[in-house]
């Protein structure tokens, strides 16, 4: 019997578990998954909670609902991986050995990385929306807030779902307009990037959206600290932005267990081959999703495209062949723009988001880099796909590699 061990039962780990379970021969393989938590969160839904569009029940399900029968599930924290010994030590003192390891330990916010961020205003006037706690606390705050300076601030890149902060800004504009409060709310988008987004064409388009929606853009701003007393954020080069309500996207880091294992970079992300998804230096360790240091977006769609590639490469490596499938950095993101509309972007390592139709050339039904109601419906339908199809490892009608069909250069 060979042991396949998966660390982390989030989006990426659960998808891999289901894919392997339905494909590997059970008389030859023991499959084990380790996670310390019982609840699976639909993280794309956190964005909608502050505005009352989703409630907590829309985004939670027990992890066990997505575990197939016949796999070993261990509920425990991970102490560390000992990659040279092919072992994983758990926080409960137990030790697991593996033949092949899949690391899917994700990324999470680390607000204590910024001076004063998790200070006296935390969850009073400063909120994140990347955790269920933050999203719910912000939802409560917004129920009674009568307006003032709303500042949305990205601390540093990379972050999970790089479009979510922009979506938050657009939805806030829509939310306050519908509440007849928009003229009392000044929205400022403060980013360490030089523009609204990372990719030039999309950045220009999204920058125009900010302008049209009367959202101020402060770019090249790297936050050094939060002044809780005077309600200001201050950059390393000593620029200041005042806030009444700060919605922060704190530094994102990989899991602490990765640091304890000595396997991460300065943010605990694991150096990973950007094409094969094999951990640098270890031929029996694959890394998937947010845990990698790949220059692709940290998003569920990316993990989904990686899952197919990882699976095929795993099969090759198992047979003693060279891993032949190459991940191209494919990402596909619906961007909510408020007032029941959305934009869709589709891109990879080499090709930035382009206009066109998706997934079928000329037909769509979704429009790339264009604001439509259909794109918004796509985003809302995605929750159903996520719970019912994606996590179960079933193929979506989408290719893993990005396609140029339907795109206009």
Q: Does position 297 bind other proteins by CB under 8 A?
A: yes
Q: Please identify, using beta-carbon distances, which residue of 52 and 281 lies nearer to other proteins.
A: 281
Give the shortest CB-266-to-other proteins separation in angstroms: 5
Binds other proteins by CB under 8 A, chosen from 266, 322, 350, 397: 266
Q: Does position 204 bind other proteins by CB under 8 A?
A: no
With beta carbons less than 8 A apart as the criterion, state whether 216 and 187 touch.
Answer: yes
Binds other proteins by CB under 8 A, chosen from 44, 162, 250, 359: 162
Q: Which of the stretches 18-26, 154-162, 171-179, 309-317 binds other proteins when contact is defined by CB under 8 A?
A: 154-162
Q: Does position 114 bind other proteins by CB under 8 A?
A: no
Q: Please identify, using beta-carbon distances, which residue of 100 and 189 lies nearer to other proteins.
A: 189
Binds other proteins by CB under 8 A, chosen from 236, 281, 373, 405: 236
Query: CA 180, 185, 187: angle at the middle one, nearest 5?
Result: 130
Q: Which of the stretches 34-42, 124-132, 295-303, 380-388 binds other proteins when contact is defined by CB under 8 A?
A: 295-303
Cis upstream peptide for 365 (omega within 30°): yes
Burial status of residue 187 (CB atoms within 10 A of its CB: 0-12, 13-18, 19 or more): buried
Dist CA 304 CA 396 (whole Å): 9
With beta carbons less than 8 A apart as the criterion, state whether 100 and 4 touch.
Answer: yes
Give the closest residue to 328 by CA, choosing from 349, 303, 312, 345: 349
Q: Does position 265 bind other proteins by CB under 8 A?
A: yes
For residues 49-108, which are near other proteins according to CB under 8 A? none
Binds other proteins by CB under 8 A, chosen from 70, 295, 320, 397: 295
Q: Please identify, using beta-carbon distances, which residue of 138 and 294 lies nearer to other proteins.
A: 294
Q: Please identify, using beta-carbon distances, which residue of 21 and 297 lies nearer to other proteins.
A: 297
| Backbone dihedral angles phi then psi of residue 35, each to the nearest 5 degrees | -155, 145
Give the residues across from 81 on adjacent strands: 88
Q: Please identify, using beta-carbon distances, which residue of 264 and 393 lies nearer to other proteins.
A: 264
Q: Does position 193 bind other proteins by CB under 8 A?
A: yes
Q: Does position 219 bind other proteins by CB under 8 A?
A: no
Dist CA 248 CA 244 (whole Å): 13
Give the shortest CB-198-to-other proteins separation in angstroms: 5
Dist CA 261 CA 291 (whole Å): 13
Give the closest residue to 195 by CA, choosing from 187, 207, 212: 207
Q: Does position 350 bind other proteins by CB under 8 A?
A: no
Query: CA 391, 394, 398: angle at the middle one, nearest 5?
Result: 105
Q: Please identify, using beta-carbon distances, which residue of 53 and 193 lies nearer to other proteins.
A: 193
Q: Does position 218 bind other proteins by CB under 8 A?
A: no
- Please compute, for residue 400, the number of CA atoms within 13 A of its CA located in the half-sphere on the CB side: 17
- Please compute, for residue 33, the number of CA atoms within 13 A of its CA located in the half-sphere on the CB side: 28
Q: Does position 156 bind other proteins by CB under 8 A?
A: yes
Dist CA 341 CA 142 (whole Å): 22
Size of the site for other proteins (CB under 8 A): 19
Give the shortest CB-183-to-other proteins separation in angstroms: 34
Kindly give, in sequence order, each residue whose CB lies less than 8 Å from that of residue 308, ignoring residues fewer than 6 positions away.
325, 400
Give the shortest CB-287-to-other proteins separation in angstroms: 17
Alpha-carbon distances, residue 299 vs 44, 107, 176, 302, 321 (angstroms) = 9, 10, 28, 5, 30
Q: Which of the stretches 82-90, 261-269, 310-318, 360-368 binds other proteins when contact is defined by CB under 8 A?
A: 261-269
Q: Please identify, using beta-carbon distances, which residue of 18 and 292 lies nearer to other proteins.
A: 292
Residue with tokens 């039962």: 9
Binds other proteins by CB under 8 A, chosen from 125, 131, 177, 198: 198
With beta carbons less than 8 A apart as the criterion, state whether 272 and 278 touch.
Answer: yes
Q: Does position 280 bind other proteins by CB under 8 A?
A: no
Q: Please identify, using beta-carbon distances, which residue of 89 and 199 lies nearer to other proteins.
A: 199
Q: Does position 267 bind other proteins by CB under 8 A?
A: yes
Q: Does position 217 bind other proteins by CB under 8 A?
A: no
Binding positions for other proteins, rule: CB under 8 A: 156-158, 162, 193, 198-199, 220, 222, 224, 236-237, 265-267, 295-297, 329
């Amino acid at each position: 019997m060979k042991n396949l061990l998966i660390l982390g039962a989030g989006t990426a780990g659960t998808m891999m578990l289901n894919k392997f379970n339905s494909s590997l021969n059970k008389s030859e393989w023991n499959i084990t998954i380790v996670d310390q938590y019982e609840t699976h969160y639909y993280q794309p839904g956190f964005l909608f909670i502050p505005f009352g569009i989703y409630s907590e029940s829309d985004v939670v399900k027990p992890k066990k609902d997505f575990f197939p029968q016949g796999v070993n599930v261990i509920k425990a924290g991970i102490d560390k991986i000992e990659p040279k010994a092919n072992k994983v030590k758990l926080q409960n003192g137990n030790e697991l050995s593996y033949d092949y390891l899949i690391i899917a330990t994700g990324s999470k916010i680390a607000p204590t990385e910024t001076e004063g961020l998790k200070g006296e205003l935390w969850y009073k006037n400063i909120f994140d929306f990347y955790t269920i706690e933050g999203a719910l606390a912000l939802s409560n705050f917004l129920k009674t807030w009568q307006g003032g300076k709303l500042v949305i601030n990205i601390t540093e890149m990379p972050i999970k779902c790089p479009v979510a902060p922009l979506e938050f800004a657009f939805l806030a504009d829509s939310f306050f307009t519908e509440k007849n409060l928009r003229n009392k709310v000044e929205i400022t988008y403060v980013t360490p990037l030089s523009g609204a987004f990372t990719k030039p064409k999309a950045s220009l388009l999204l920058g125009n959206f900010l302008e049209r929606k009367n959202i101020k853009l402060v770019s090249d701003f790297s936050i050094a600290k939060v002044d809780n007393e005077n309600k200001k954020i201050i950059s390393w080069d000593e620029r200041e932005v005042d806030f009444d309500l700060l919605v922060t996207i704190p530094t994102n880091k990989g899991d602490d267990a990765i640091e304890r294992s000595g396997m991460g970079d300065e943010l605990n992300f694991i150096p990973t081959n950007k094409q094969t998804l094999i951990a640098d230096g270890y031929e029996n360790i694959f890394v998937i999703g947010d845990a990698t240091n790949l220059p692709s977006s940290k998003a569920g769609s990316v993990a989904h495209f990686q899952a197919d590639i990882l699976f095929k490469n795993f099969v090759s490596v198992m047979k003693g062949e060279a891993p032949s499938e190459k991940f191209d950095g494919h990402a596909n993101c619906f961007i909510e723009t408020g007032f029941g509309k959305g934009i869709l972007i589709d891109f990879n390592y080499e090709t930035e988001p382009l206009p066109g139709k998706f997934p079928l050339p000329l037909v769509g039904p979704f429009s790339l880099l264009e604001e439509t109601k259909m794109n918004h419906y796509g985003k809302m339908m995605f929750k159903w796909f996520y719970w019912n199809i994606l996590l179960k490892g079933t193929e979506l009608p989408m290719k893993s590699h990005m396609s140029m069909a339907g795109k206009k250069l």
